[in-house]
Amino acid sequence: MAAESKQEQSLLEKAQRVLPGGTFGNTAADLIIAEGKGSHVWDENGREYIDYLIGSGPMIVGHGHPEVTAAVRAQLERGTTFFANNPQGIELAAAIADAVPCADKVRFASTGSEADAFAIRLARAYTGRDKILKFEGGYHGYSDYGLMSLAPKTPGNSPQPIPDSAGIPESIKEDILVAPFNDAVAVESLIKEHPNAIAAVFMEPLQRLIPPQPGFLEAMRELTRAHDILLVFDEVVTGFRMSYGGAQQYYGVVPDLCTLGKAIGGGFPLSAVAGREDIMALFDANRTPAERFVPLVGTLSGNPVAAAAGLATLEILKRPGTYERYFETGEKLMTALSRSLESAGLEAQVVGVPPMFDVVFAPGDVRNYQDTARADSAKMAKLNGLLRERGILKGENKYYVSTAIDEQDVVQTIGIWSDAIGAMRST
């Protein structure tokens, strides 16, 4: 890595003084990103990276896209927040309702964690039931309910959930059931063991990087419908990324509710709960008995600056050919990474879909969290470090592809992979 500048060193020291662990909690403390443009970012020391972190997903059209920047700048001149309906938020809700198959109505929040927590509450209020069935390894935000069996140290404890954080009450365990992803038989068994008790099957249609097996999502739709359980898709990540209508459009399975985030805010804090008219009516005090009403109020919910950025982002994404090019780029990258690993003789595979993928250092099929838990995390950390040294920035377990990645980026990325993987093989 390049030598630290005095400015960077000063910031690192200040971060250690004022931040727990010297970090916001997202990335390593020694990484300070100062600028982003298109598909690249620069750290405080001026080192340039091809960006496959993209803010953990929101910058799907790249950093500083001129149309998004213009929309934000125009709104800034008119005001930053009002705690009231505004034209940009209304138009964004309409765009979401037009695009997302399950979305009759939309209600905004600020973060994916908030949207997921509200969707859980909404499902319970609608059904009058308390239990939520989720999948081991599924991420649904940082609420007490979301942080159950996301990354259990001893996987395979279905149906009992394991808290992923200190401070979560023991009582939470009573209302969460856990099943292995891609196992419809296990889900059906749990539903039958808890008749009339489960409010929702709450799931990522593509769990982290693991695709659903053929027929799995369809089975979830059939089972939930047969037992009067709501099917909720967490599309905070997959919404407007897998297709313009999200993973539910891509896979052809429509849930009752979904949550959205990341892409819909264009780089600003914004999320949403969207779904069927009769379920979403519980957010409307004028249409719902007081005992069933679910309040959802947020100081920045539907913020006009975030909505303006989101509208501009969606306008870019829905243009003809955008997703075809996007997937073509991702497929090139996945193929090249697989070939590089194979040529190096490493026991590893590329898992995911063209918009987001990564290496799993383990043999055999990857169908659920237990399969990913077999992976060699030390090798993954080693490769990530080698890549960062050579100018690729990514998350610990994911490459996010943006539409800003061009052919030159692809060629450069492949070269860096070859060099870094070669260095791994020689150590």
Q: Which positions are annotated as active-site residues? A: 139, 234, 262
CB 7 within 8 A of CB 16: no
Opening angle at CA 65, ends 84 and 44, nearest 5:
100
**For the CA atoms of 72, 8, 31, 237, what is the dihedral angle to 10 degrees?**
-10
Q: Which residues contact 166 (CB under 8 A, 6 or more apart)?
A: none
CB 49 within 8 A of CB 43: yes
188-to-219, 253, 368 alpha-carbon distances in Å: 9, 18, 17
Question: Counting Cβ atoms within 10 Å, is residue 169 exposed (0-12), middle (13-18) or buried (19+)?
Answer: exposed
Q: Is 197 helix (H, G, I), strand (E, B) or coil?
A: coil
Give the distance between the most distant pair of CA atoms in the chain. Answer: 67
**For the CA atoms of 160, 164, 169, 173, what is the dihedral angle to 10 degrees?**
-10
What strands, in cross-sheet order, belong to the sheet with 356-360? 349-353, 356-360, 399-400
* CB neighbour burial string for 75-108, b if at least 16 within 10 angstroms, e if fewer: beeeeeeeeeebebbeebbebbeebbebbebbbb
Which residues is 258 bridged to in the sheet? 233, 274
CB 397 within 8 A of CB 380: yes
How many angstroms separate the CA atoms of 211 and 190, rounded?
A: 22
* CB neighbour burial string for 263-288, b if at least 16 within 10 angstroms, e if fewer: bbbbbbbbbbbbbbeebbbbbeeeee
Q: Is 54 helix (H, G, I), strand (E, B) or coil?
A: helix
176-to-59, 147, 288 alpha-carbon distances in Å: 33, 11, 27
CB 99 within 8 A of CB 128: no
Question: What values do phi and psi take at 6, rounded to 5?
Answer: -60, -40
Beta strands, E only, 187-299: 198-203, 230-235, 257-260, 271-275
